[in-house]
Amino acid sequence: MTVKKPKSWVLRNQTLTWGSRTYLMGVLNVTPDSFSDGGQFNSLETAIAQARYLAKSGIDILDIGGQSTRPGAAQISLEEELARVIPVIKAIRSEPKAGLNLISISIDTTRAAVAQAAIEAGADLVNDISGGVFDPEMLATVAKLAAPIILMHMRGTPQTMQQLTDYEDLMGEISGFLAGQINRAMTAGVDPGLIAIDPGIGFAKTYEQNLAILHRLRELQKLGRPILVGPSRKSFIGWILDQPDPKQRVWGTAAACCGAIAGGADILRIHDGGEMRDVCRVADAIWRYQMGKEVGR
């Protein structure tokens, strides 16, 4: 049974109308150890500079995270995560240059306390890589905050996930997990119209499985939720290109983004704002073309 997708989300000063175009979520990791840009933006000054760059590049949502989720990443304390992300959110909300204070902000966290503090500081939605599993209070907290949430599929933790890649039915198991977490979120009081899903590219997936997800992404549309895909600079692209440096995977990322758009993705989580904005504009013109006009431009 296919569930009908909600028409839109209203985030701060913008409306995201699903199906009209692809929306971009720009990554802002305020961490010392993220796989691609760890240590680049973990001071307030460099974080704000990167936020300005991404905003000027045309991204729609700024995704701020203080806990690295690369394979093998160590868990930091709640206090450390709060100390990394909350000052950045507050600084962005008080920065009028280039309209930075009006940009939509996502908090990338698995902790309910961080989600609540971030929303109170000015974030607009929650991006939980555990799909609401790691913290039993997350779904009830999001419901109380009346905030949108993105539920991602993964297995295990960042320390163990790459040993948990055996699937009997890859897309069936991803879909089943996400359907279950959608139901748990609704049971906790989350508005069903404020739930998006993410198949978890790179999280407990082999290189080949990541490609299979992109190839079969449209199968997740039956869940009736906006779909986020995060292929940016991931190791499966480096595997294909024989490119160990994540920063040199920009055009491989562009190809993966095109594949995701062709498969019905609504949001792409990316590092390279300007380049991926151009990619999305052209890909949208191809795959969202209707009645002789570009949709949403």
- Phi and psi of 134, rounded to 5°? -60, -40
Report residue 35's pLDDT band, with 50, 70 and 90 as the boundaries.
very low
Question: For residue 61, which of 230, 220, 185 has the smallest C-alpha distance?
Answer: 230
21-287 placed in CATH 3.30.465.10: no
User: Cα(234)–Cα(197) distance, rounded to whole angstroms?
Assistant: 19
DSSP 208: H
- Tell me the C-alpha to C-alpha distance, in Å, between residue 266 and each of 21, 56, 156, 160, 295: 7, 21, 26, 29, 13
Counting runs of H as helices and runs of E as strands, what totals does the chain give?
A: 9, 10
Q: What is the pLDDT of residue 291?
A: 36
Lowest-confidence region among 35-44, 207-216, 267-276? 35-44
Report residue 45's pLDDT band, with 50, 70 and 90 as the boundaries.
confident
- Segment (H or E) for 25: strand 23-29
CB-based contact 154:203 (threshold 8 Å)? yes
Q: What is the pLDDT of residue 287?
A: 93
pTM of the entire structure?
A: 0.93
Report residue 39's pLDDT band, with 50, 70 and 90 as the boundaries.
low
Q: pLDDT of 155-207, one tens digit each?
A: 998 889 989 999 999 999 999 999 999 999 999 999 999 999 999 999 999 99
Active site residues: 234, 269
71 CB-near residues (< 8 Å, 6+ apart)? 35, 158, 161, 162
